[in-house]
Structure 1
Amino acid sequence: MPMKRITTSEEAVNCIQDCHTIAVGGASGYAVPEKLLEALGKRFRETGHPRDLTLVHVFGVGNQCDKGLEHLAQPGLFRRVVGGHWSMAPSMARLAAEDVFEAYNLPAGVMEHLYGAAAAGRPGITTPVGLHTFVDPRLEGGKLNSRATEDLVEVTVCDGEEYLFYKVIPIDIALIHASESDTAGNLGMSQNAGFWHNTDLAQAAKATGGSTLAVTCKLVDSGVIHPRDVRVPGCFVDAVVVDPDQKQHYELDFDPTLTGDAVKAESEFRDFPFGVRKVIARRAALELTPGAILNVGFGVADGVVKIAREQGLADTLTPTIEHGQFGGIPAEGLLFGGMYNARAILGSPHMFSFYHGCGVDQAYLGFLQVDREGNVNVSKLASSIIGTGGFIDIAQRARKLIFCGSLAVRAETELSSGGVRFVNHGRPKFVEKVDQITFSARFARQSGQEVLYVTEAAVFRMTDDGVRLEEIAPGVDFDTDIVPQLGFKPIVAETVRTMPLELFTGDLLPRRLFSHYGG
């Protein structure tokens, strides 16, 4: 294969012209082409060009502070931004809220499949994912502000069933990162925590006559990378920038337990401290079933895997995350997107195909708001743009959903062997109407999904008539503790069960509570 152009980041981004569409790879702080983003931001600050770009990114890209897409948060640089998740670059989210550019939010899995569609020369993808959520054009069409007027999503019907059609976005320039490149431009990702969508993105740019610019930590001779380890063939790569200082993640030099090259011992994991989050995770974990394939979300929900490990159930389950990993332990906080001790790592488009095909038995996800119908919002609060990420892709196609979160915002509680006592009530998270529908109760009812909402004080279930209270924590009074912290009065089951008292102590849970394990 011919030698590739090895260049500086400043020279590489000179090929980006006014009105180009650029797509940025990476997720959170993993596999981000940082040097290219820095160089593009600097070029615009110094010259005012390129201008009026369209930016496409599947996952959040940044550290919620000063890296990733934060380099590009400059008025005039973009005409339009289509993002799967926005919270990792708060300045970009603020510009979107201020109508500085056209802003859209689409499901991450759908966006990844749009790269595949572009690579294959297809006009778009047709899928049920997104129906009756805010990306449905009958609601908001994924539009985040008043400047976003073009419809990127359409409703279509096939064999009498409704679907959404998402239009392909042609890519002029793809910006990606890989841990190693040979002199022919073949890219390997042996020291990356995942593969994400680099292959599809580079192919999408190639198919539309565009270019792929890659940042790599290490340059090796042609042929050194084993063909099985090449994730992006050199024929898709137009220029390579070498940055030996880039870490595996913004917060991490390199951890081989995230790549499968070492095993992280159980003793190396932090203990799960007893508190409200653990109580919620414990109650949610009682829904676990042997052999289940799980998706575990960010935040409170990831505690379910910790409980499974504490209780000796982990070997009976297969956790997954949308970034492509099977069978390990999800990393927490800003490191989410990696998985310790994974048994398999695929490209994230393959994982989303698995999710879209109803491969997940149980999904444990967080929530910001729940309304009386059972709709869930995780993507927008008032004018604060967060984004759906893979939430819609996962939630609409999992067989069973367990939403995990506190009953109210900033409530003060005391936990004891007697249960829960509210010292001060909080602001309702269960509201009359969610700010944005990220999970559609209507779609879930039509699909026959089982849906629970687990909090430290009560457990609710989605029914045909709305949200129904089924369990209440010991020490909690419905009229004085629950109702004042809800924005609506729920349906109440004929028999309201008491949540097991053992949830509220620091001891291991008795096996009898895990009914699906013969308890």
Structure 2
Amino acid sequence: MDKSVADLATAVAGIEDGMTVMIGGFGGAGAPIELIHALIDRYRASGHPKDLTIVNNNAGNGHVGLAALIETGMVRKLICSFPRSADPVVFTDLYLAGKIELELVPQGTLAERIRAGGAGIPAFYTPSSYGTDLAKGKPVAEFDGRSYVQERWLKADVALVKAETADTHGNLTFRAAARNFNPLMCMASKEAVVQATRIVPAGVIDPENVVTPGIFVQKVVEVAHPQQEEDLNRANAVYPGAV
């Protein structure tokens, strides 16, 4: 039952070429920077994994975290809501050059597609995107006189998640807005890999405070002093490099 692993390299060791990887975070809030950088380190050492499909709220900022993952050339396709965020220069340049695919999803629809994946709901209907280019090719139905677009669930091979506290059984708590997509992604993935600011023995977390039950988590690694994307970007950090 002990799901803790010794280091970040071990935590990301199961991610392989062509996988779909969900990455938590809303901008820098709840973004698992250390797990992402460990995945980059693995690629630089071995050339794998590559051709990844990444599911995230945005397209990364600056040259760290998700942006660094994209810049390294590991990502074939991005599924997100906000490709134009604070400083998405890496994604923008690659997209305009035809070197990365984009599937644009309204934010509420993205959250619901992930939730549906975790709940075992293969499809649902939403009015969002009806009448726009995003609805082209998708089934449309009318309910109570209003048109709705059918959207499919989103599931992943792996989710990379940032939590505040984890116990050794994988039960998780999150800090304020850092919760965002992280719990949903744990549920929608075959393997949830979690970095937590602290790992405590099973039973220490009050059951009333558990947000994500350990049944949805496969690996936890402690990162006592996690980096914040915004701080790194203010320092003009680049990964890999002097971060």
Task: Classify 1:7/1:177 alpha carbon distance in 2 versus 1 (closer, same or farther; 3 Å).
Answer: same
Per-residue CA deviations over 1:86-117 (Å, capped at 9, x if unaligned) read 22543123212221122121111101101111
Task: Classify 1:117/1:101 alpha carbon distance in 2 versus 1 (closer, same or farther; 3 Å).
Answer: same
Counterpart in the other structure of 1:24: 23
Question: What is the CA–CA distance in structure 1 between the aligned matches of 2:20 and 2:55, rounded to whole Å?
Answer: 8
What aligned pairs does 1:222-371 form with structure 2 within 5 A after superposition?
222-246=202-226, 249-251=228-230
How many aligned residue pairs are there?
A: 229
Counterpart in the other structure of 1:103: 102
Name the SS for the 2:53 alignment partner.
Answer: strand
Contact 1:27/1:61, CA 8 A, preserved across alignment: no
Q: 2:82 aligns with which of 54, 72, 85?
A: 85
Question: What is the CA–CA distance in structure 2 between the aligned matches of 1:45 and 1:74, rounded to whole Å?
Answer: 12
Task: Classify 1:61/1:99 alpha carbon distance in 2 versus 1 (closer, same or farther; 3 Å).
Answer: closer
Name the SS for the 1:172 alignment partner.
Answer: strand
Name the SS for the 1:99 alignment partner.
Answer: coil
Counterpart in the other structure of 1:472: none
Counterpart in the other structure of 2:179: 195
Counterpart in the other structure of 1:51: 50
Question: What is the CA–CA distance in structure 2 between the aligned matches of 1:34 and 1:27, rounded to whole Å?
Answer: 12
Question: What is the CA–CA distance in structure 2 between the aligned matches of 1:116 and 1:227, rounded to whole Å?
Answer: 22
Question: What is the CA–CA distance in structure 1 between the aligned matches of 2:43 and 2:208, rounded to whole Å?
Answer: 39
Deviation (angstroms), 1:20: 0.7
Contact 1:187/1:231, CA 8 A, preserved across alignment: yes
**Structure 2 residues not aligned, in runs of 5+:** 235-243
Question: What is the CA–CA distance in structure 2 between the aligned matches of 1:7 and 1:165, rounded to whole Å?
Answer: 43
Question: What is the CA–CA distance in structure 2 between the aligned matches of 1:13 and 1:161, rounded to whole Å?
Answer: 45
Question: What is the CA–CA distance in structure 2 between the aligned matches of 1:36 and 1:244, rounded to whole Å?
Answer: 13
Question: What is the CA–CA distance in structure 2 between the aligned matches of 1:246 and 1:179, rounded to whole Å?
Answer: 10
Q: 2:152 aligns with which of 167, 180, 192?
A: 167
Deviation (angstroms), 1:184: 1.4
Contact 1:187/1:234, CA 8 A, preserved across alignment: yes
Say whether 1:112 aligns with 2:96.
no
Task: Classify 1:223/1:61 alpha carbon distance in 2 versus 1 (closer, same or farther; 3 Å).
Answer: farther
Q: 1:221 aligns with which of 201, 209, 217?
A: 201
Counterpart in the other structure of 1:38: 37
Question: What is the CA–CA distance in structure 1 between the aligned matches of 2:102 and 2:181, rounded to whole Å?
Answer: 22
Counterpart in the other structure of 1:67: 64
Query: What amino acid does structure 1 have at the position aligned with 2:141?
Result: V
Question: What is the CA–CA distance in structure 2 between the aligned matches of 1:77 and 1:65, rounded to whole Å?
Answer: 17
Deviation (angstroms), 1:122: 1.6
Question: What is the CA–CA distance in structure 2 between the aligned matches of 1:118 and 1:112, rounded to whole Å?
Answer: 10
Query: What amino acid does structure 2 have at the position aligned with 1:233?
Result: P
Query: What amino acid does structure 2 have at the position aligned with 1:197?
Result: F
Query: What amino acid does structure 1 have at the position aligned with 2:225?
Result: D
Deviation (angstroms), 1:75: 6.1
**Structure 1 residues not aligned, in runs of 5+:** 138-150, 253-333, 335-519
Counterpart in the other structure of 1:500: none
What aligned pairs does 1:357-396 form with structure 2 within 5 A after superposition?
none
Deviation (angstroms), 1:78: 2.2
Question: What is the CA–CA distance in structure 2 between the aligned matches of 1:103 and 1:244, rounded to whole Å?
Answer: 34
Taking structure 1 as the reference length, what is the TM-score of the superposition? 0.42
Contact 2:116/2:154, CA 8 A, preserved across alignment: no
Question: What is the CA–CA distance in structure 2 between the aligned matches of 1:161 and 1:235, rounded to whole Å?
Answer: 39
Question: What is the CA–CA distance in structure 2 between the aligned matches of 1:167 and 1:250, rounded to whole Å?
Answer: 31
Task: Please provide the CA RMSD for this pair.
Answer: 2.1
Per-residue CA deviations over 1:458-514 (Å, capped at 9, x if unaligned) read xxxxxxxxxxxxxxxxxxxxxxxxxxxxxxxxxxxxxxxxxxxxxxxxxxxxxxxxx
Larger RCO (alpha carbons 8 Å, 6+ apart): 2
Per-residue CA deviations over 1:161-205 (Å, capped at 9, x if unaligned) read 42111222321101110111112111111x343421222211111
Question: What is the CA–CA distance in structure 2 between the aligned matches of 1:251 and 1:72, rounded to whole Å?
Answer: 16
Contact 1:126/1:164, CA 8 A, preserved across alignment: yes
Decide which structure has the larger Cα Rg and report it: 1
Deviating more after overlay: 230-239 vs 74-83: 74-83
Question: What is the CA–CA distance in structure 2 between the aligned matches of 1:81 and 1:181, rounded to whole Å?
Answer: 28
Runs of 4+ in 1 over 4 A off after TM superposition: none
Query: What amino acid does structure 1 have at the position aligned with 2:58?
Result: G
Contact 1:186/1:234, CA 8 A, preserved across alignment: yes
Identity score, percent: 29
Per-residue CA deviations over 1:57-105 (Å, capped at 9, x if unaligned) read 1x2364x322221221246522221111122543123212221122121
Question: What is the CA–CA distance in structure 2 between the aligned matches of 1:35 and 1:127, rounded to whole Å?
Answer: 35
Task: Classify 1:61/1:79 alpha carbon distance in 2 versus 1 (closer, same or farther; 3 Å).
Answer: closer
Deviation (angstroms), 1:251: 4.5
Name the SS for the 1:180 alignment partner.
Answer: strand
Query: What amino acid does structure 2 have at the position aligned with 1:92?
Result: F
Contact 1:83/1:106, CA 8 A, preserved across alignment: yes
Contact 1:53/1:80, CA 8 A, preserved across alignment: yes
